[in-house]
């Protein structure tokens, strides 16, 4: 396996980081999972370029990334439509493309969604830390020196030339998600819904919440009616485990959907977004609105099976195409 320099960062945009599927199993040391917020798009991007589906990609937030190819390689862009361009030409998303050495790739701004994923054939060559290449911005490790990308950074890949035949592949249109401005998120109540008044729970169920500009990789922060707790409840609870998708409610009664940058928290949690809907959290942006739909644990499980079945069908479709390519 040869490590080859593949991309030079000309402009990093406000926040571009290296993320893979995440860092699991180290929560007991306080180590957060990190990883791509929209891991559906990460997985599909990797499948398009023939990588293992959990490989590291660039997670591009809203706009601004510009990179130059340092060698011939194959790439795919999934997730938010940030108007990707190859040199001066608009580039199709959810397709794999051939980049010639010296080509530039730029992202001109959001048309829909919040985070785009750039997958490179051959992945991103970095030593995994605790089994993951994901960037942990708070504790400053993983990815590129634990930080966001900056101008002049060089990314390398493992044997990118071996992936060139994966060019020209596409995800069937029917599997490509659309990113609305008004989101419906499915959830199950708990673990502390019993701390809220009936009125507080009703407000949660029937209101529309606005996504605030303070939202980031740590959480989607919402503004709406105050979710009232029962009389006598303190603002905080004894710190305990949290998981991405958990909706915690601090003393001000405004919910925050926790993402994957922490493992514990000291606020009560009214509900938790189901696993099947977690990738959507990566595409919600400030100014969007969110409302919540209650489902049972069985319905949540069924939704997760369906989400995995879609990935299986995409994988199958791409496999058929690569057989064609090999001929």
The binding site for other proteins (CB under 8 A) comprises 24-32, 129-130, 136, 138-142, 187-188, 190-192, 238-243, 245-246, 262-264, 269, 272-275, 297, 300-301, 304-305, 308
What is the SS3 string spanning the chain?
A: CCEEEEEEEEEECCCEEEECCCCCCCHHHCCCCCCCCCHHHHHHHHHHCCCCCCCCEEEEECCCEEEEECCCEEEEEEEEECCEEECCEECCCCEEEEECCCCEEEECCCCEEEEEEEEECCCCCCCCECCECCCECCCCECCECCECCCCCCEEEEECHHHHHHHCCCECCHHHCCCCCCEEEEEEEECCCHHHECHHHHHHHHHCCEEECCCCECCEEEEECCCCCECCCCCCCCCCEECCCCEEEECCCCCCEEECCCCCEECCEEEEEECHHHHHHHCCCCCCCEEEEEECCHHHHHHHHHHHHHHHHHHHHHHHHHHHHHHC
CB of 127 to other proteins, least distance (A): 9
CB of 275 to other proteins, least distance (A): 5
CB of 43 to other proteins, least distance (A): 15
- Residue 142 or 279: the one with the smaller Cβ distance to other proteins is 142
CB of 245 to other proteins, least distance (A): 6
- Residue 98 or 141: the one with the smaller Cβ distance to other proteins is 141
CB of 138 to other proteins, least distance (A): 6
- Residue 22 or 200: the one with the smaller Cβ distance to other proteins is 22
- Residue 188 or 233: the one with the smaller Cβ distance to other proteins is 188
- Residue 87 or 264: the one with the smaller Cβ distance to other proteins is 264
CB of 232 to other proteins, least distance (A): 14
What span, in angstroms and rounded, lies between the C-alpha atoms of 206 and 189?
14
- Residue 6 or 134: the one with the smaller Cβ distance to other proteins is 134
CB of 119 to other proteins, least distance (A): 25
- Residue 53 or 81: the one with the smaller Cβ distance to other proteins is 53
């Amino acid at each position: 396996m040869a490590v080859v320099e593949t991309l030079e960062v000309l402009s990093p945009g406000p926040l571009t980081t290296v993320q893979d599927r995440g860092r699991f199993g180290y929560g007991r040391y306080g180590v957060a999972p990190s990883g791509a917020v929209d891991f559906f798009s990460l997985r599909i991007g990797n499948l398009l370029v023939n990588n293992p589906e959990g490989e590291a990609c660039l997670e591009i937030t809203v706009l601004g990334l510009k990179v130059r190819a340092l060698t011939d390689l194959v790439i795919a862009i999934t997730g938010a439509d940030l108007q990707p361009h190859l040199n001066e030409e608009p580039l199709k998303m959810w397709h794999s493309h051939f980049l010639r050495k010296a080509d530039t790739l730029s992202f001109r701004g959001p048309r829909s969604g919040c985070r785009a994923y750039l997958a490179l054939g051959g992945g991103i060559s970095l030593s995994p830390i605790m089994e993951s290449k994901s960037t942990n911005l708070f504790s400053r490790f993983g990815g590129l020196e634990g930080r966001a990308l900056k101008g002049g950074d060089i990314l390398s890949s493992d044997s990118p030339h071996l992936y060139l035949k994966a060019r020209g592949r596409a995800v069937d249109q029917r599997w490509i998600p659309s990113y609305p401005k008004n989101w419906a998120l499915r959830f199950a109540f708990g673990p502390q819904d019993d701390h809220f008044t009936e009125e507080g729970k009703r407000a949660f169920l029937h209101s529309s919440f606005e996504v605030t500009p303070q939202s980031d990789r740590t959480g989607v922060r919402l503004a709406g009616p105050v979710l009232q707790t029962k009389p006598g409840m303190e603002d905080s609870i004894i710190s305990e485990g949290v998981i991405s998708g958990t909706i915690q409610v601090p003393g001000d009664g405004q919910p925050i959907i926790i993402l994957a940058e922490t493992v514990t928290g000291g606020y009560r949690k009214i509900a938790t977004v189901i696993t099947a809907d977690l990738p959507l959290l990566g595409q919600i942006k400030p100014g969007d609105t969110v409302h919540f739909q209650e489902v049972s644990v069985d319905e949540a499980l069924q939704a997760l099976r369906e989400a995995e079945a879609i990935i299986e069908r995409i994988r199958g479709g791409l496999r058929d195409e690569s057989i064609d390519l090999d001929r």
